[in-house]
Structure 1
């Protein structure tokens, strides 16, 4: 093993790091090119302290490059869009992972990956990695599954803690802590689990848990950032369900945090963001009884990218607060130019999605939906073109049993998300105002993904400990609106144009609808224009920053647009990248204390 590590160390340090070695900086996080980079003996000691679980990067797609192996390359290419496959790999990521692609015409290196990964199986492995990073000054990142749109689980030349092998789900019926907040049980979830694992256990116990919309999403970053769910409008955010956490803090100490133990840290960890205060080992959440639900699939179509389509989109958004207050929750797509389903070569403009109506009857759902649909489909005065509609209504005896069968999202591409939380003020804007701003935010060929997952359940959530660090913007919102932009691999000029347009044109169109609102940091642009502290954390930020300085005074944890980012600066990033991109994901740069 020692010889193997020496070889890998030489392999890593042979890469081209010249763009970050021009200037010596004091108080900077170390990179493999740094003179103070830990010695082979130090890395060997870390490997021994973690029972041989220190790993060095071996890019997944090397078979697609020299020496080329057609069979192995094809196998990798077939899995590249599979998030479960990426979760099982210690250094790859679901999104924006382009250091080594399954494409023989692209370059391949380990330069965008961590220098080393600790495959953590428990608290002692996490403690060893945290202590090593704190004592040496090596940058530290944390990966659970790699399902991270903002790429905080990536970091060139870092030491990564991979928590995917910290496993387990345990149910405690009639846990008095859960019953005090309206639950019937508690569920303890280890940090390496994905929601599909938790859902399977909950279903076997006839329970409902508040979890991610994608079954392959991991637990850690989701719940630390707040965590929205298809049933958040009923029970509150994921972070609102937390009764207790096991963590290792930046000082390397194992701690149990709850309402009475380290209550300030308990407050911050529930919504203050991942990779900021501690590494999560497990979380215990409230579980509820099975939830009978009406499922309502809908689509409304008209002429692509027409005035009628955008008026339809505006009117639809005007109805969202009423629908939410009446019990609707779920997801919708606004697609200005979608392929027609009737084999025509013409595109259509479509609004489609799926609502959940927990504990409603078919008649009650009809009474909620009919006024809106009857009006839209009866030639309203703003419609110059015909609008058609379709729906499918189903009765489910158990929401979670049906919802857990959804297929996970495809991954393996470069993407940047714009987003904004729309409150009742935004959704009550005049039709022409909404129409104009939505159109600016989502020109063809792009689409808008709406999450009707807030409303009364989030506004009125009863939170263990009285409050938590979930952004106050969520407490006022109804719809979390996301405007994704897929980017071309390895085309820096196109990426710069796209991200600049998103940052300066599309996202501001949504922001103008609700200037006092903000965005959900887990699904937002980490380079967003404006006061990112207020945008992502609202008036919680001063307290969060004070707790960051208390619990991580040395800045062991750092990530872009995370609490405490402004205490550091990124210098000597790649010239071809816009400076705002330095330090995001696999984009390099030296991180130095100001």
Structure 2
């Protein structure tokens, strides 16, 4: 450390050196393997005993591509599927748990991946060193205590989607009634050189590798997956609610709620943890236009604080922690054991998919005119009916891969969408002034949200490889109303040349 600070304080180098040698203050950096203060094997073994043998040393998935563990068959499989989510989230061929893996492996900085030469050493690099498989509060308290006493970095790992949020600070309860009285269209700019997925984990996503870290101890909450329907009663809400532990995924919660006759506010990606990055990051859902964000619906949080206290946070008890967790970002304020969230009566749900291409509208300028018409018409549908739409915009194609109505049949939705389709069809006319088909569209419905989602949208999203780079922007309703041309021009610049893709979530938050 002296070599780092001496160039800055060169004129007082000797005095600083003497002071540092005599100081008994705690270290300013966390210990990593190789440091003198790194916990001994005896201490790690003692922790393993404390947590009932649930301490797991990290072995990178790609170690089968290196050194003595090399397997050409397994390595070729990893090379072909390196960005497929199931490869990182499930288990390897020997059914070995993979708690140290994350779904955005570029944060490991190629210290062990399937593309470097097989004689290159497989090193942990930015992987966590150990993980505790969490089954209850006891292991969480033990992990927190160990990390604090031994000056080891601690991270919380659930599904590994790596979502870090940048929402505004949560407001006090006195203004909660109006905190989402605005309509906004979210624009996410994504590098498209690998097929990508759109994960509605948070209000504003940026994949920063937050659930990993060199030399860290991870609290792996993925197997905390119990759920139960409860009848909740408080001064703010009385009615059905779902208590879900922190490892529950969106698909699991949606199916569980469906089986009990309800809907829950979950994201569009089936394997994103609902309680972690999704809800703690705000939680944009395909039903947010009707029910609000995921964070709007949380009734209470069950957590373990950094000092080991097992408490519950509600709007009236530990309220500051409740509001911080309700949109302030996962893995930040406490270790969440479970959350209790509102449920809604299930019923008919419909969806639409719409697409038009540059060749169908007649050229580049006509295409961008059609994009402008599309967003102009979409604003009305969102405002009036509470629809939520996920849209892909490239330099030659616009596609709604999901527009959800929480209350209309397919026939009703098709009728409501017809003005938008007719406006787009009018962009191009034939030589005899007859309309030519510009838009491809279809609608479908089901008797529940889960049935519609699991048969239409989930099969499209679940298998897609991961996004290499993601950035986000808000575009407000006011901006779209007052200066739509500039917004469309900005989209056009962003995707020009085919190097970027826009993934847009359009919704009206009114709850």
Q: TM-score range by the shorter chain?
A: 0.7 to 0.9
Query: Corresponding residue for 2:188?
Result: none
> 2: CA distance between counterparts of 1:154 and 1:305?
46
In structure 1, runs of 5+ residues without a counterpart are 1-19, 338-348, 462-594
Change (3 A) 1:59 1:412: farther
User: Cα RMSD over matched residues?
Assistant: 2.7
Deviations 1:407-448 (CA, angstroms, capped at 9, x unpaired):
343466562211112211221244531232111222313211
Deviation at 1:72, TM superposition (A): 2.9
Answer whether contact 1:86 1:145 (CA < 8 A) is retained: no
Deviation at 1:214, TM superposition (A): 0.7
Matched, 1:310 2:310: no
Answer whether contact 1:247 1:254 (CA < 8 A) is retained: yes
Deviation at 1:331, TM superposition (A): 1.0
394-403 vs 78-87, greater mean Cα deviation: 78-87
Change (3 A) 1:286 1:355: same
Matched, 1:396 2:446: yes
Query: Corresponding residue for 1:359?
Result: 407
Change (3 A) 1:21 1:359: farther
Change (3 A) 1:225 1:297: same
Change (3 A) 1:272 1:423: same
Answer whether contact 1:311 1:432 (CA < 8 A) is retained: no
The residue matched to 2:332 in structure 1 has which SS? coil
Deviation at 1:250, TM superposition (A): 1.0
Answer whether contact 1:169 1:188 (CA < 8 A) is retained: yes
Query: Corresponding residue for 1:370?
Result: 418
Query: Corresponding residue for 1:94?
Result: 103
Deviations 1:32-73 (CA, angstroms, capped at 9, x unpaired):
233322233322222221112222211111112223212332
Matched, 1:236 2:292: yes
Change (3 A) 1:223 1:254: same
> 1: CA distance between counterparts of 2:331 and 2:140?
13
Query: Corresponding residue for 1:155?
Result: 213
Q: TM-score, normalised by structure 2?
A: 0.76
Deviations 1:148-191 (CA, angstroms, capped at 9, x unpaired):
2332112122111111122211112x43359x648x52111111
> 1: CA distance between counterparts of 2:124 and 2:289?
43
Q: How many residues align?
A: 421
> 2: CA distance between counterparts of 1:411 and 1:394?
22
- Please give the residue correspondences for 1:494-509 in structure 2 after superposition, counting only pairs within 5 Å: none
Matched, 1:37 2:51: no
Change (3 A) 1:311 1:430: farther
Pick from 336, 347, 363 the counterpart of residue 291 of structure 1: 347
Query: Corresponding residue for 1:73?
Result: 75
364-373 vs 151-160, greater mean Cα deviation: 364-373
- Please give the residue correspondences for 1:576-587 in structure 2 after superposition, counting only pairs within 5 Å: none
Change (3 A) 1:413 1:325: closer
Answer whether contact 2:267 2:286 (CA < 8 A) is retained: yes
Answer whether contact 1:302 1:386 (CA < 8 A) is retained: no
Pick from 392, 415, 432 the counterpart of residue 333 of structure 1: 392
In structure 2, runs of 5+ residues without a counterpart are 6-19, 21-26, 91-97, 163-206, 430-434
Q: TM-score, normalised by structure 1?
A: 0.66
Answer whether contact 2:65 2:71 (CA < 8 A) is retained: yes
Which protein has the larger Cα radius of gyration, Structure 1 or Structure 2? Answer: 2
Query: Corresponding residue for 1:5?
Result: none
Deviations 1:195-253 (CA, angstroms, capped at 9, x unpaired):
22212211211210100111111121211111111111110111111111111111111
The residue matched to 1:199 in structure 2 has which SS? helix
